[in-house]
Amino acid sequence: MKRRRRIKKRKAKKSFLKKLFFGLGLIVFSFALSASALYYFSPDMRIKGLEVAGNKTVSQEDIKKVAQELFVSSFEFFGREIVINNILVSLESKSSELMERFPEIESVAIKKDYVKGLVYLEILEKEPAAIWCDDNNCSLVDRRGSFIGPCSRQENNSLILLDEKGGGLNKEKAISSALFLKEKMKGYGLEANFFSLFLDKFILEDVRGCDFIFNLSDDFDWQIEKMEIVLKQDKYLNNLNIFQYIELRWGNQAVVKKRE
């Protein structure tokens, strides 16, 4: 009998402890839920304003409008719309969404003034490097070939690349090669503005009437070296208009073709 009473007392004690722990857990949960609600919905924690800096071509008002849409979220709770507009909520994940809406933007740095409730957006825009044309559709791109915006060939940009029948090389390589050639030509007092990209050749067009033909899949540095050997000779440099093309793709030779 005594043993049964001891067992009953132990069970009663365990039951009491379970209820106690459950009660304490419920209190902690309720407190956490209340604190979370205060964290998200307190009017003192709302985003009170947005400031944009660093933008050059993208409208400041457009950026603010889209940022406001992205930074403020809402959901329904028992048929009631709950709006989350809180400066304490992390906004870093929204940067990529903002850049998707504005392809001109390279990066967005987000800073906050918790006292004033202000969010500051530091914008870095992409630097235009060339006009890339494919099937008569032209777009402004940066050095990596990243899209900035649609444009026409007549826009004020001195480097135009035409992708003829799918050149098969990535934009970044073609653009970096074109920019490199442009600088090299500048050293000889020549302008390099127009390029065509084919499956087996990369053509710098119309340098005083003469085309320079390269292969970007081969040793490009050696082709540049051959080009410079030719241009260092006055009989070629000063008379480019009488040549149809200078072929630089094959072996150790630079083939110079006169106009007929």
Residue identified by tokens 């480097």 is 159
How much is the pLDDT for 165? 64
Q: Are 198 and 164 in contact (CB under 8 A)?
A: yes
Q: Which CATH number fits domain 43-125: 2.60.40.1290, 3.40.50.2300, 3.10.20.310, 3.40.50.300?
A: 3.10.20.310
pLDDT in tens, the chain (260 residues): 545 555 555 555 555 445 555 555 555 444 444 444 444 445 556 777 788 999 998 999 999 888 888 876 544 545 554 445 666 666 677 788 889 999 999 999 988 888 888 888 899 999 999 999 887 788 999 999 999 988 887 666 668 888 876 555 678 899 999 999 999 999 999 999 999 988 889 999 999 999 999 999 899 999 999 999 999 999 999 999 999 999 999 989 899 999 88
Range(s) within the chain of domains with CATH label 3.40.50: 130-258
Q: Which CATH number fits domain 130-258: 3.40.50, 3.30.1680, 2.30.29, 2.60.40?
A: 3.40.50
CA–CA separation, 228 and 222 (whole Å): 10
The token pair at 230 is 């030719």
Neighbours of 178 (CB within 10 A): 22
Residue pair 204/161 in contact by the 8 Å Cβ criterion: no
Q: Which ranges in the chain are annotated with CATH 3.10.20.310? A: 43-125
CA-to-CA separations, 32 to 25, 35, 37, 78, in angstroms, rounded: 10, 5, 9, 21
